[in-house]
Amino acid sequence: MELTYDQKVLLNNAAKRSFRDMADQDYLTARVCFKNNLPFQFLWMSQQAIEKYIKCILLFNRVPVLKIGHNLVKGIDAINAIPYLKLDLSDKSIDFIKYLNDQGPNRYFQKVMYTRGLEIITLDRTVWELRRYCRLLDYQLKTPKGEVIDMLEVELRTIRHTRNVPPHKHKIVGGYLEKRLKDNKYNHGSILTWKNFFFGKTKKNTIKIGRSMRTNFPTQHLHPESLEFFGKFFKIT
């Protein structure tokens, strides 16, 4: 799809404000939910954050997101289908995205919910890995001599280099998390850095965190005879 210069500027602005900034705030909300032992809400807000980061990446690369819906795996596949872009995601992050794709939408407790207790660490890793791509990568710069430089490979090389330095050193210019990390407005900086290996002002080598594994079964799972009856009152998935 060919876009005018003005359309590109507007789309970049929407990708930043409506998707990346909103994803950052969903991510902070997920961390609050985890800290306060709200597992269903943690999973839902985590899913919402990852969904918006995925869509942000697609929009910055001029790919429509109308058919992605809430399917995180479909969104990741769409990103990897971009000819010049191959996401550098760890196996743990890929598995967590699949887990959220299943558990995140379970906000009405329609199926068994399970956690292993360390999801906050995996969420932090997944957000950090995905968020590196949540900015404009494919653009050109003109030098004072009039030479035009394609910046795509430079930007991709910069992303690859983040693996060689402590994760907290990676920053997005103008990012919501970066602003709150600096000024701690609304206490958001403190929310971000609590038990976080990946975001902060200093490197963390160890953290102490209580682990609480749990499995919850919905009523219709415990009482399958209720399925037909419940179906007359609310949607059963």
Question: Residue 98 pLDDT > 90, yes or no?
Answer: yes
Q: In the prediction, which pLDDT does 69 show? A: 94
Domain boundaries in the chain?
A: 5-230
**What mean pLDDT, rounded, does the chain reach?**
95
Top CATH class of 5-230 equals mainly alpha
For the cut 90, the answer to whether the pLDDT of residue 26 exceeds it is: yes
- Digit-coded pLDDT (tens) for 51-90: 999 999 999 999 999 999 999 999 999 999 999 999 999 9
User: What pTM value is reported for the model?
Assistant: 0.95
- The whole-number pLDDT of residue 196 equals 97
Assign 9 a pLDDT band (cuts: 50, 70, 90).
very high
The predicted pLDDT at position 234 comes to 93
pLDDT surpasses 80 at 1: no
3-class DSSP string for the chain:
CCCCHHHHHHHHHHHHHHHHHHHHHHHHHHHHHHHCCCHHHHHHHHHHHHHHHHHHHHHHCCCCCCCCCCCHHHHHHHHHCCCCCCCCCCHHHHHHHHHHHHHCCCCCCCCCEEECCCHHHHHHHHHHHHHCCCCCCCCEEECCCCCEEECHHHHHHHHHHHHHCCHHHCCCCCCHHHHHHHHCHHHHHHHHHCCCCCCCCCCCCCCCCCCCCEEECCHHHHCHHHHHHHCCCCCCC
- Between helix 176-183 and helix 21-35 the angle, nearest 10°, is 60
